Amino acid sequence: MYRVTAYFKNHKVTQEFYNLYDAIDFRDSADANYPRQVKFEKVKDMREWIYNCWNVVMDHNKNPLSAIPDLQVRHMVMQILAFMWSTIFAIMILDSVYAFMYSAIGHVIFVAGVVVTVATFRQAERSPHSFNWMNGYHSHGRGRNYVIWRDKNGNPHKQPLPDNDPGGEHE
């Protein structure tokens, strides 16, 4: 968010913008009316502040743990911190160790889901061909050796499949 303030002799005019170019345009328009001073400042709104605070703590590439070169060690340290904070909040809020148990289980499930998702995304970036499961697909337990077709009159008849047909409906 951008704030432009123009100070005139008897009053001031302030306008806030989300778009940089709108703010620049307003600054130029205000400046054309000969104010004493025009202030142009970038203002962080609450949403941006919350987003940045989250990243400083939770993004392993932006928090101080980014100095640890091994991703698995970073994950382990984050997991230990999650258990620690779960314990602190469970005892502070509910005065109960059982609350910690539920909180810890929830954190493990959540963090494990995030880790599996990130690992899948990274694998897709590094080697997308590893997700090509249809090459060499072979249905070993094929239970039929024929298909039932209908002729022009609608009468069914068995059509034998070739011996080297691997099977599967989507080939």
- Asked, for residue 147, whether it belongs to a domain, the answer is no
pLDDT band at 138 (very low <50, low <70, confident <90, very high): very low
| Residue 164 belongs to some domain of the structure | no
How much is the pTM?
0.37
Q: Quick one: 118 and 71 in the same domain?
A: yes
Q: 77 with 26, same domain?
A: no
Per the structure, the complete domain to which residue 13 belongs is given by 2-43
Q: Per-residue pLDDT tens for 86-107?
A: 778 778 877 777 877 887 788 8
Tell me the C-alpha distance between 41 and 26, whole Å: 13
* Domain identity same for 38 and 63: no
Question: Domain total for the chain?
Answer: 2
Q: How confident is the model at residue 167 (pLDDT cuts 50, 70, 90)?
A: low
CA atoms within 13 A on the CB side of 119: 9
- Nearest 5°: the CA angle 72, 78, 84 is 140
